[in-house]
Amino acid sequence: MAAFSTDRAAGVLLTQACGDALGVPYEFAARLGATDVPQMKGGGLGAYDPGEWSDDTQMAVCVARVAATGADLTTPEALDEIGEGFLDWAERGASDIGSQTRSVIGAARRSTGRPAERMAAASAQYAERHAQSAGNGALMRTSIVGLTELDDRMATAAAARAVAELTHGDPLAGDSCVLWSDAVRVAVVEKRFDLAAGLDLVPVERRDQWAAWIDEADRRGAAAVQPQRIHRDRAAGGLGGDHLDPGARARSGGGLVPVPASPARAARGGTCG
């Protein structure tokens, strides 16, 4: 990898953690004013210290540890390592866990078999039981996947969906991870951000709808993406026109929106280093 690309790849990891720590105090908090400046002050949903990242980056680290070995993240062995990492994290080191991820991990613990198989099965079962299961938890940790196959967009897409499906079995959640991971890959390789670049990597029957959602988010901004809207917006959370401005995310408030400061910063890091 060229030196400049290495710098931008490192920027993905570093700025994800920084963006996450910036968004922590504002998760499910009241919307800030247009002139308010978000502060990295800790608190939020847990007893976070100022500058401490949340469960989103904690789970991303689980993925990064496996990715750093050079493993193909679509293989059963690599997915087992990630799944085992998630299970161990939930038991020993989680500061907070989203309700869907908590439910999936709990079900996986109660079953037998390989870690990835147990998690993927529990994830699929959760999606079958819940009509609105395209949560953004998988999206929050997917930026690292965009670094694993910089010269192979198809492999990036396959890895993004496979890792997402460990906790989020709804196809829309997987789509969002495919789109964002490829956007990070493009940012590192080409030094530009283009969320729509990966539209051809999602199933053809959903491409037009995703294009419309991305266009809507670009036009209306982060405030248009609210958790009260139908579950497709939960999958699209963080993909709006101010996707590279975590300050705008925090100002938008409303529950879902502050958290995407984490992948938003990761995308900026991939573009700028």
The three-point CA angle 128-89-179 to 5° equals 55
Q: Which candidate, 218, 180, 185, 216, places its Cα nearest to that of 199?
A: 180
**pLDDT recorded at residue 23:** 84
Residue 181 confidence (pLDDT) above 90:
yes
Residue 43 confidence (pLDDT) above 80:
yes
What's the whole-number mean pLDDT along residues 221-230? 42
Q: 165 with 123: CB under 8 angstroms?
A: yes
Cα dihedral across residues 202, 267, 146, 190: positive or negative: positive
Residue 144 confidence (pLDDT) above 80:
yes
**pLDDT recorded at residue 268:** 52
**pLDDT recorded at residue 222:** 47
Cα dihedral across residues 58, 63, 65, 67: positive or negative: negative
**DSSP assignment of 120-187, as one string?**
HHHHHHHHHH-SS---SHHHHTGGGGGGS-TT-HHHHHHHHHHHHTTT--SHHHHHHHHHHHHHHHHH
Cα 125–chain centre separation: 21
Give the confidence band of 251 by pLDDT, cuts at 50, 70, 90. very low
Residue 50 confidence (pLDDT) above 50:
yes
Q: Which H or E element spans position 236? A: helix 231-236
Spatial separation of the C-alpha atoms in residues 109 and 241, rounded to whole Å:
39
Spatial separation of the C-alpha atoms in residues 233 and 250, rounded to whole Å:
17
**pLDDT recorded at residue 164:** 97
Structure tokens that stand for 184 in this block: 């990070």
pLDDT, greater one: 263 or 195: 195
pLDDT tens digits, residue range 53-103? 999 999 999 999 999 999 999 999 999 999 999 999 999 988 889 999 999
For the chain, the average pLDDT equals: 82
pLDDT tens digits, residue range 107-126? 999 999 999 999 999 999 99
Q: 36 with 85: CB under 8 angstroms?
A: no
Q: 134 with 231: CB under 8 angstroms?
A: yes
Spatial separation of the C-alpha atoms in residues 261 and 190, rounded to whole Å:
22
Give the confidence band of 32 by pLDDT, cuts at 50, 70, 90. confident
Provide the CB-side half-sphere exposure for 45 (13 A, CA).
Answer: 20
Spatial separation of the C-alpha atoms in residues 107 and 130, rounded to whole Å:
15
**pLDDT recorded at residue 215:** 85
What's the whole-number mean pLDDT along residues 170-175? 95
**pLDDT recorded at residue 184:** 92
- For residue 48, give the DSSP letter: B
**pLDDT recorded at residue 125:** 97
* Predicted TM-score of the model (pTM): 0.83
φ, ψ of residue 43 in degrees (nearest 5): 85, -125
